[in-house]
Structure formats: C-alpha cells, structure tokens
C-alpha cells in the first residue's frame, strides 16, 4: 500500500551507501537496521547502487512526501543527499532535517556536531533530536563539460589536498586502502607534486602566492580528523580559508602532526582568511575535492548560504580556544 503524505512526513527516510567505509556499511547495515528498529524509529530505507545515486534517491523521496532523512554512510553520501535537497524546488530547504549514522572512511563532518562513530550512540543522538542550523557552501568549478556547481557541508579542498583525496578515492573505488590511506598518500604524493601560482579574492581583497594547498570550509576537520580550518564555525555565516604557501617538503612532513590540533596555522607560510565569497584562479588549474569527493578543477567561486540546513547533533564545536588568529 502506498504511504499517505501524513505518514511520509512523520517517517524518516534512510539512505544507505553499502560501499561506504570500504563496504563496511554494507556489512554492518543489517545490524544498524536492527538497532533503528529496536529504538522505535519509524523509517523507510533505500540502498544506493552507484556514484551520485543518493542525489536522485533524495529528490524522489521528497516527491513522495518525506522531509526527514538519515544518512548511513560517509561524508560523500551526506554531500549527495544535501545536493538532492538543494536541486529540487518543490519544498523550502528549511523544512528538511538530516541525521547521520557515520560509516565512512574519514567521517569528518560528524566531528563538528559531536556525533559519535559508535552506531548505538549515533542512533541515541537521533532519538534525542537536538536540532542545529548550519551554513552550506556553494562552489562553482570546471570540468570537461564546462562550469558546474556543487553544494557542500564541510570542506572544499584544492591543490595538494585534492590530489591526495583523488588518489585515496581511486584506492577506495578498487576496494583498497583504509582509514590511514589519506595520511599515507599525503606523504607519498610529495615526491611528484608541484607548487602552483594562485590568486585569491576574499570579499574584494586580493592575494597572490605560490601555493601548496588550500581549503575552504564550514567545518574545521578534513582528511580523517585533521583540523585544517581551526577557526571555522558551522553557523557563523562565513567561509574560512587556510592557504599553505610554498614550503619545503621536509617542513610539510614536520608539520603534519600539527594538522590534528590546528597549530600548524602558526607557521609563517600559512595564511587564514574569512569571507562570504572567495574567487580562486590558478595557472595551471588545480584539482578540487568537496566533502571528500573528487570533482573538477579551477577556477573556483565559493559562496556561503547561511543557516539554511537543519541537522541533528549533540553540540556545535567551537573554534579551538588555544589558537589565536594571526
């Protein structure tokens, strides 16, 4: 029997990516399903079968009346669901609520909202139902077919970060790698990476430098817990940027440990910016990853959509009090 609009509005729609976490999600889904059922959560679920499938699943669920979504997967799956919400124009974004049971490789978005990677604890967070409104980023980039747009909820990485993400994603697509793949690739890719001349415009202020890597985001964490944007706040209406200028490879290796607490930003070759809009150009073009997913290349335009997405979490992580802006 088809669901009534009323029942759909009250139920959660669960989108499961069985390939997330090197297929850990597929193996663990029966157990997660049982936990959700035992918790008394009324839900309908669908499994994704291919890349970007969660986008079309989301738009179809919206047409059926669903307004509450649980993502079972990683940051990439969450990104697809959010893009599904934004590309439709039937229902205002503010009417949707998203929760997450993290089963990805990096699971970085969850860190900004205190969501546990323990399944039972994540489900308990959903039951408590504490709602936060977060900003969403919108990036315009290039690929072989011309300019494209993508919404994101955590971090857009460019240059070296994006190259490392692409290498890591290629390994994941082949069923290889693991939680430490990003860190391993961060070191090994130094052997052949070249610096790029990058121009940045931050709300009208211009800067230009030979650049190793840069990140623009809403959340602080990327690359499996690295605090690459330590001043970022998910609901302050601003984008944060961390730009690492040309530095020696030995310095990069030495500073990796400082990525985890954000203290690397004290290095004189690291610059931080805050703005509502960034324009980024480079020669040659640099690569892009968004919420861990490899996309296209520069030039880029990044904009903020403030306090538009309702999510369920435990708390909203504040910028580290031990760090001072420089």
User: DSSP secondary structure string, 8-54?
Assistant: HHHSEEEEE-TTTTTTHHHHHHHHHHHHHHHTT--EEEEE--STTHH
pLDDT at res. 10:
80
Q: How far apart are CA 302 and CA 154, in angstroms?
A: 13
Every domain range in the chain assigned CATH 3.40.50.10330: 5-134
Count Cβ atoms below 10 Å from residue 238 Cβ, excluding itself.
Answer: 18
Under CATH, which number does the domain 5-134 receive? 3.40.50.10330
Q: Which of 76, 64, 116 is nearest to 289 (CA)?
A: 76
Q: Each residue of 209-250: pLDDT tens digit? A: 999 999 999 999 998 899 999 999 999 999 999 999 999 989
| Whether this model's pTM surpasses 0.75 | yes
Mean pLDDT value of segment 5-33: 89
Q: Each residue of 250-297: pLDDT tens digit? A: 999 999 999 999 999 999 999 999 999 999 999 999 999 999 999 999
pLDDT at res. 168:
85
Query: Does 109 score more than 90 pLDDT?
Result: yes
Mean pLDDT value of segment 6-29: 89
Q: Which of 120, 103, 101 is nearest to 35 (CA)?
A: 120
- Residues across the chain: 326
Alpha helices in 177-232 (DSSP H): 181-188
Task: Please give the structure tokens belonging to residue 294.
Answer: 């490899």
Every domain range in the chain assigned CATH 2.60.200.40: 136-306
Q: How far apart are CA 296 and CA 202, in angstroms?
A: 21
Under CATH, which number does the domain 136-306 receive? 2.60.200.40
Mean pLDDT value of segment 195-199: 96
Q: Which of 72, 67, 60, 83 is nearest to 16 (CA)?
A: 72
Between the CA of residue 177 and those of 20, 35, 165, 171, 226, what are the distances in Å? 12, 28, 12, 6, 18
Count Cβ atoms below 10 Å from residue 201 Cβ, excluding itself.
Answer: 16
* Average pLDDT in the chain: 93
Q: How far apart are CA 305 and CA 287, in angstroms?
A: 23
| pLDDT band (50, 70, 90) for residue 1 | very low
């Amino acid at each position: 029997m088809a669901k009534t609009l009323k029942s759909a509005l009250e139920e959660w729609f669960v989108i499961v990516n069985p390939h997330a976490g090197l297929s850990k999600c597929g193996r663990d889904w029966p157990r997660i399903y049982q936990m959700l059922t035992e918790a008394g959560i009324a839900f309908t679920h669908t499994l994704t079968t291919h890349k970007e499938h969660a986008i079309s699943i989301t738009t179809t669920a919206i047409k059926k009346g669903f307004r509450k979504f649980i993502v079972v997967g990683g940051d990439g799956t969450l990104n697809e669901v959010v893009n599904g919400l934004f590309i439709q124009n039937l229902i205002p974004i503010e009417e949707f609520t998203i929760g997450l049971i993290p089963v990805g490789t990096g699971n970085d978005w969850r860190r900004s909202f205190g969501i546990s990677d323990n399944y039972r604890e994540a489900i308990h967070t959903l039951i408590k139902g504490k709602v936060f409104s977060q900003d969403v980023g919108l990036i315009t980039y290039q690929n072989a077919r011309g300019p494209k747009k993508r919404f994101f909820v955590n971090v857009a990485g460019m240059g070296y970060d994006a190259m490392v993400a692409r290498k890591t994603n290629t390994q994941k697509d082949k069923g290889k790698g693991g939680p430490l793949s990003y860190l391993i690739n961060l070191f090994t890719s130094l052997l052949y990476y070249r610096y790029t001349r990058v121009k940045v415009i931050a709300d009208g202020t211009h800067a230009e430098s030979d650049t190793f890597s840069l990140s623009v985001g809403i959340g602080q964490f990327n690359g499996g817990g690295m605090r690459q944007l330590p001043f970022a706040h998910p609901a302050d209406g601003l984008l944060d940027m961390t730009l690492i200028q040309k530095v020696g490879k030995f310095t990069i290796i030495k500073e990796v440990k400082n990525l985890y607490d954000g203290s690397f930003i004290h290095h004189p070759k690291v610059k931080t910016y805050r703005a509502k809009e960034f324009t980024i150009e480079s020669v040659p073009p640099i690569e892009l990853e968004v919420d861990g997913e490899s996309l296209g290349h520069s030039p880029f335009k990044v904009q903020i959509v403030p306090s538009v997405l309702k999510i369920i979490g435990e708390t909203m992580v504040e910028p580290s009090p031990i760090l001072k802006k420089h």
